[in-house]
Amino acid sequence: MENLEKIHMRITDSVSFKLAIIAIITLLLLIPAGMIQNLIREREQRCKDTINEVTSKWGNSQTLCGPVLTVPYKTYMQTNDGIVTSIHHAHFLPSSLDISGSVVPEVRYRGIYEVIAYKTSLLYQGSFDPVDLRTLSINPTDVLWKEAIIEIGIPDMRGINQPVIVSWNESRVPIAPGIPVKDINPSGVNAKVNVTENTMNIFSFRLDLNGSHSLNFVPLGKETMVNLSSPWKDPSFMGAFVPDEHHISDTGFTARWNILQLNRNYPQQWTDDHAEINESAFGVNLIVSVDTYQKSMRSVKYAILFIALTFLIFFFAEFIHKTKVHPVHYLLVGIGLIIFYTLLTALSEHIGFALSYFMASMVIITLISLFAQSLYKKIRVSLTVAISLTALYVFLFVVLQLTDYALLIGSAGLLIVLAIIMYFSKKINWYETVTYRNHKKSTEQ
């Protein structure tokens, strides 16, 4: 029995055995870390569902496509039963298209979640060149001129908050809901217009819309000019084209696009169906500058680094000061480090990420430092733990704020940490069996 006890003591006091136990605990703690990642995904999805619920009643993202002049015409086909007449449609895009207006954001709340919506008032002006039927091989006598319409594509019709009044060659034309011919736009409004073969047509109209998230345009003109202004100070320009000029300040932004026909991959006129023209859409996204869930998810990915380095600090303190720390104590410290991420996620939903990070890290640093003081009974050890954890959390916060340099700074930080570990590890005889102070006391008693 005495020999077995000596073997047991030799194994439990082995440096290598202790490191193996610490490694196992570290790997086990990755299970709750993975559960926290699932929790963050769940909260993020709940946020998205809430936003979709609110915006579905207000208005979703708007991608405006118009105006398009659509002219129906007849075609004839000889069959065994005689001549069959079919109706086809020729689509003509404007020669010039000038869009100007403002985007006024509205921040709405549902519970703890923030929803970015907007109101926009847009003035459309431009012209259509005379209809050229020769390029489409259409006989003018087959054209149904009286059935010509212009269509304005609006994806979410619930966003229309003012009547749409179209001026066509200085005459007002009545607007009807829906798109009769869905070759280009699945939804929107249309108006019958007076068109002749050799006449240039000038148009103007105003769109007052509600929307959310983003406002986009399809550049249908031979030359399309868009001028937008908004008091929103965190825009994200998106789509196939970036602004030729833009200015962003604390009072909002202004942006101007100038897009030519040659910049896109479709012509000015065609018949019936055509390639997806929405691929050329561009616009602005009204974004919240801080994505708390994304940063919380990124921080959890560093969990194994925090756990391993904190355990190493406790291990070196244990070896240097000859104070035995039970694996359960390591487990409790690891659980405290894991709880940091739940605190961070919960607080950031209410008070923002930066303040949440500071509060959660201070709570965990204080808790673990006091726990170290109770284990080692030395102020120097608890201060070392507090300073080390503070440095780690500051390092992580800096990395989370970076995008382009996150990998570079992260790699440099890990290199420094590795150098510190190398320095302390050279003082340890890894083949030695350590006699701890509390074991000595028990033996003397």
Residues 38-89 pLDDT 10s:
998 888 888 888 878 877 778 889 999 989 999 999 998 888 777 888 999 9
Q: Supply 218's token pair.
A: 């399809």
Higher-confidence residue: 441 or 381? 381
Higher-confidence residue: 287 or 192? 192
Question: What pLDDT is attached to residue 6?
Answer: 56
Segment 88-123, tens digit of pLDDT: 999 999 999 999 999 999 887 777 777 888 999 999
Q: Supply 49's token pair.
A: 């569902």
Question: What pLDDT is attached to residue 148?
Answer: 94
CA atoms within 13 A on the CB side of 249: 4
Name every residue whose Cβ is closer than 8 Å to that of residue 370 and which is 6 or more positions away in sequence.
382
Q: Residue 438: is its pLDDT beyond 50?
A: no
pLDDT above 70 covers what percent of the chain? 89
Segment 308-354, tens digit of pLDDT: 888 888 887 777 777 778 888 889 999 999 999 999 988 988 888 88
* 97-111, 183-197, 221-235, 408-422: segment of lowest average pLDDT: 408-422
Question: What pLDDT is attached to residue 207?
Answer: 95
Q: Are 256 and 99 in contact (CB under 8 A)?
A: no
Segment 196-218, tens digit of pLDDT: 888 899 999 999 999 988 999 99
Q: In the chain, what are the domain boundaries?
A: 2-46+293-444, 61-288
Give the 3-state secondary structure of 124-158: EEEEECCCCCHHHCCCHHHECHHHCEEEEECCCHH
Residue recorded with tokens 């008091």: 231
Peptide bond into 243 cis (omega under 30): no
Question: What pLDDT is attached to residue 434?
Answer: 53
Q: Residue 437: is its pLDDT beyond 60?
A: no
Q: Report the alpha-carbon distance of residue 326 to residue 321 in Å, rounded.
A: 15
Higher-confidence residue: 437 or 47? 47
Q: What does the pLDDT average to over 405-434?
A: 71
Q: Residue 394: is its pLDDT beyond 90?
A: no
Question: What pLDDT is attached to residue 435?
Answer: 53
Question: What pLDDT is attached to residue 68?
Answer: 95
pLDDT above 90 covers what percent of the chain? 40
Q: Report the alpha-carbon distance of residue 417 to residue 421 in Å, rounded.
A: 6
Question: What pLDDT is attached to residue 230?
Answer: 95
Question: What pLDDT is attached to residue 2?
Answer: 53
Dihedral in degrees, nearest 10, Cα atoms 394, 397, 402, 406: 70
Question: What pLDDT is attached to residue 120?
Answer: 95
Under the banding of pLDDT at 50, 70 and 90, the label for residue 442 is very low
Q: Residue 424: is its pLDDT beyond 80?
A: no
Q: Supply 79's token pair.
A: 């069959």
Question: What pLDDT is attached to residue 7?
Answer: 55
Return mean pLDDT, the chain: 85
Question: What pLDDT is attached to residue 5?
Answer: 57
Residue count of the chain: 445
Segment 137-195, tens digit of pLDDT: 898 899 999 999 999 999 999 999 999 989 999 899 989 999 998 888 889 999 999 99
